[in-house]
């Protein structure tokens, strides 16, 4: 049994297989997941696991150089927007419209679906390198 870090086997494997600039999406329970993009469904019930909890856990293992969020998050969920920025403080932020965000999910290695029920609680993480 794994001693530390992410114990969800698909999620652990996904992070270990990422290369520089590959992307993954952490999504609320309502974001549409494009056909052909791997879905890792963590949602158990409304709010479980939450977006921020999932993001913090992934950040323990993933090197992120930049992230993309929908501009609508800032207006609809300002507290969540601020908390997301704090967690990703060393990464470069990039804002796009929610429609553009949904288009970008087509390029992701996977979409990680949480139980989050907060508007626009979605982020695209762009993998960095550790050297």
Give the residue numbers of the binding site for substrate: 28, 98, 120-122
Binding residues are 28, 98, 120-122
Catalytic residues: 20
- 85 Cβ contact partners less than 8 Å away, ≥ 6 residues apart: 93
Contact 40, 111 (CB under 8 A): yes
CB 95 within 8 A of CB 71: yes
Tokens read off for 53: 């909890």
Contacts with 50 (C-beta within 8 Å, 6 or more apart), sequence order: 114, 115, 116
């Amino acid at each position: 049994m794994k001693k530390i870090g992410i114990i969800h086997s698909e999620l652990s494997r996904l992070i270990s297989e990422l290369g520089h600039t590959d992307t993954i999406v952490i999504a609320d329970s309502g974001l549409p997941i494009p056909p052909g993009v791997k879905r890792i469904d963590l949602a158990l019930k409304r709010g479980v696991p939450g977006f921020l909890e999932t993001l913090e856990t992934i950040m323990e293992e993933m090197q992120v150089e930049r992230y993309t969020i929908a501009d609508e998050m800032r207006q609809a969920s300002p507290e969540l927007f601020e908390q997301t920025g704090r967690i990703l403080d060393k990464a470069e932020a990039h804002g796009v419209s929610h429609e553009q965000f949904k288009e970008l999910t087509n390029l992701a290695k996977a979409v990680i679906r949480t139980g989050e029920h907060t508007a626009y609680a979605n982020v695209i993480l762009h993998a960095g390198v550790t050297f």
